[in-house]
Amino acid sequence: MYYSFPDNFWWGSASSALQTEGAREGETTWDRWFSREPNRFHNGVGPQQTSTFYEHWKTDIALLKQLNHNSFRTSISWARLIPDGIGEVNPQAVTFYNQVIDELLAQGITPFINLFHFDMPMAMQEIGGWENREVVAAYARYAQICFELFGDRVNHWFTFNEPIVPVEGGYLYDFHYPNVVDFRRAATVAYHTVLAHAEAVRAFRAGNHAGEIGIVLNLTPSYPRSQNPADLKAAHIADLMFNRSFLDPVLKGEYPEDLVALLKSYDQLPACQPGDSELIAQGKIDLLGINYYQPRRVKCRDSAVNPEAPFMPEWFFDSYEMPGRKMNPYRGWEIYEPGIYDILINLRDNYANPRCFISENGMGVENEQRFIENGQINDQYRIDFISEHLKWLHKGISEGCHCLGYHMWTFIDNWSWCNAYKNRYGFVQLDLATQQRTIKKSGEWFAATAQNNGFTRE
């Protein structure tokens, strides 16, 4: 069967500043954490050792063109542009980002620019990070500076990438700095992130900038083990906490009433101030980026909660491992292609069918060098992964979902937080020793798919 996509469909990939650029003038939380606990990072590889996009941006953009990208998402590093988060703008950073944006446009590639991808300036974290409303104000200023510097050429802005991840990693589950385990503080971080998002949207609107502004959310459909009411309730609460805590504010301009009631009943609501609700209502977006990697399968708890344990989302549900599930064994994630369709249908039916696109979808594989054939990585497994997801994406579009594109994570093998280079995701292989770039078989397949605006699949 041939799967054809709408005219002007966005074909491309996504990356981030911190994972590709390399060393910067301003210190981030990742730089500080790595200096203190390098053992927490795979093979002791920290954020200074990336795919050197800062030096190779021109040749890398030429590779994007070779891969037939018509769009590409990356981020601006707050700590590179404003090293202390709030003070003077770094002119070298302005030059760099201007060069990147101009070269993308020269190659016929539309830049999608994200403002925050987990990379909090350390100077901002030292005064409390997202727990401190002064940092919200500093972020709003940073966003406005970006709009003024680059908004004449950038028409697609995103305030945050996966804002739930710093909440989970930094304040619930100890896999990001500052390694706090405290739900109330996590809720404050999430709430202030929504306020920061809304401040940026308000600044964008007030400046009458061309184009549109959105946010990128990692949406993980919550599937109950069964239709038993207890399992259904567990899945509903998981969805409230991990999806709707950001989805509702940015699409509806308000929080779900049942989430507010739940947190209030356990005395976990963050502190609100007069005017917050009106600000959140102004944060409704033009375009939603959807990152989809895996589903969340849950069931009701089988055991009582330890009354001495910290309050956690898992007070209300347990994870469920569905028998027979398909897995990516290297990442430990389930592969469930229909999830991408279910997300789109939910948006169509419950959120007025917003303009959206798949902003990340990808498969990380360890030790890909074993698949080299005639000097090229034969990653047929990645081609299968992409095409099966695209089939379900195509089905959603055919049923009226307003999905405008598909971006893969990622363009080139890059540094990935605590995993460093353990799992490779790129269309392009990176040799860390030589920095040589080699297009994989999946890159050739994607280039053909983008050129043809479709593909053939059984």
Q: Which residues are catalytic?
A: 360
Angstrom distance (rounded) from CA 112 to CA 128: 29
Q: Are 20 and 55 in contact (CB under 8 A)?
A: no
Angstrom distance (rounded) from CA 363 to CA 410: 9
Structure tokens at 27: 């210190």
Tell whether the torsion through CA atoms of 322, 324, 330 and 336 is positive or negative: negative
Structure tokens at 428: 């392009």
Structure tokens at 40: 């927490």
Angstrom distance (rounded) from CA 263 to CA 339: 28
Among candidates 415, 446, 411, 432, which has minimal Cα distance to 369? 432
Radius of gyration of the chain from its Cα atoms, rounded to whole angstroms: 21
Distance of CA 340 to the CA centre of its chain: 15
Helix residue ranges, H only, 351-440: 380-398
SS3 state of residue 374 = coil
Angstrom distance (rounded) from CA 337 to CA 326: 10
| DSSP annotation string for 265-278 | HTT-PPP--TTHHH
Among candidates 115, 311, 112, 282, which has minimal Cα distance to 199? 282
Among candidates 76, 75, 276, which has minimal Cα distance to 192? 276
Angstrom distance (rounded) from CA 86 to CA 120: 12
Angstrom distance (rounded) from CA 317 to CA 315: 6
Neighbour count for residue 126 (Cβ, 10 Å)? 15
Helix residue ranges, H only, 76-182: 78-81, 91-106, 122-125, 133-150, 164-171
Angstrom distance (rounded) from CA 375 to CA 428: 13
Residue 435 burial (C-beta neighbours within 10 Å; 0-12, 13-18, 19+)? exposed
Angstrom distance (rounded) from CA 175 to CA 165: 10
